[in-house]
Amino acid sequence: MSTVVRTSIFRVITVGILAVVTLSGCAEVSENPKTSIGALGGAAVGGLIAGAAGAGGAGIAAGLIGGGLLGGLVGKLLDERDHRLAAQAAHQALETAPSGTAVPWRNPDNGHVGTVTPVRTYQASSGGYCREYETTVTVGGKLEHGYGKACRQPDGSWHIAN
């Protein structure tokens, strides 16, 4: 990839992140950091997906903003216990669940539920193993889907690749 293209993509990503932060509002950042974390994480994922799909600058910006808004919503609605329960389910799914088998989680305090389902296991070119997975989260009757890839590290931990 040429330096000009990389610089252009970096500028689009930077502008997109600034737009997400502006849209989420400064007052809300201090009141609910989960929203900001979710928004920035969603923006990063949206931008990466658009970039990987070969979208141009406008497509990457749209991915950043769309991902930021969705990530902000999910971050705002999930609390610390939800994140811990989801992380435990993800670890179990990646470690031991056969492909296609959902590992559920549920927070009895607020009724939030979700699943982590490994969908494919493969050996990466580096020799390590990776798993593609699907996640679902239901908050207030609204179902959200996510997809990703995690690769096993030499120390046995899993690294979310995207």
User: Chain centroid to CA 97: how far?
Assistant: 20
Sequence letter at residue 118: P
Give percent of the chain above pLDDT 90. 40
Please give the helix or strand (H or E) that residue 111 lies within, else none.
none
Q: What is the pTM assigned to this prediction? A: 0.54
Query: What is the per-residue pLDDT for 126?
Result: 86
What is the C-alpha to C-alpha distance for residues 133 and 135, in angstroms, rounded to an integer?
7
Query: What is the longest distance spanned by two Cα atoms in the chain?
Result: 51
**66 against 95, higher pLDDT:** 95
pLDDT in tens, 34-67: 554 555 555 555 545 555 555 555 555 555 566 5
The band of 78, judged by pLDDT with boundaries at 50, 70 and 90, is confident
DSSP 104: E
Give residue 127's pLDDT: 87
Q: Structure tokens of 111? A: 């009724």
Name every residue whose Cβ is closer than 8 Å to that of residue 118 and which is 6 or more positions away in sequence.
Answer: 93, 94, 97, 98, 99, 100, 101, 131, 132, 133
- Give the pLDDT confidence score for residue 8 in this predicted structure: 44
pLDDT tens by residue, 115-159:
999 999 999 998 899 999 999 999 888 999 999 999 999 898 999
DSSP string, 28-42: HHHH-HHHHHHHHHH
Choose among 14, 8, 75, 17: nearest CA to 43.
Answer: 17
How high is the mean pLDDT of the chain? 72
Report pLDDT for 49: 54
The confidence band for 95, taking pLDDT boundaries of 50, 70 and 90, is very high
Given a contact cutoff of 8 angstroms between Cβ atoms, the answer to whether 42 and 64 are in contact is no
Contact, 19 vs 63, CB < 8 A? no
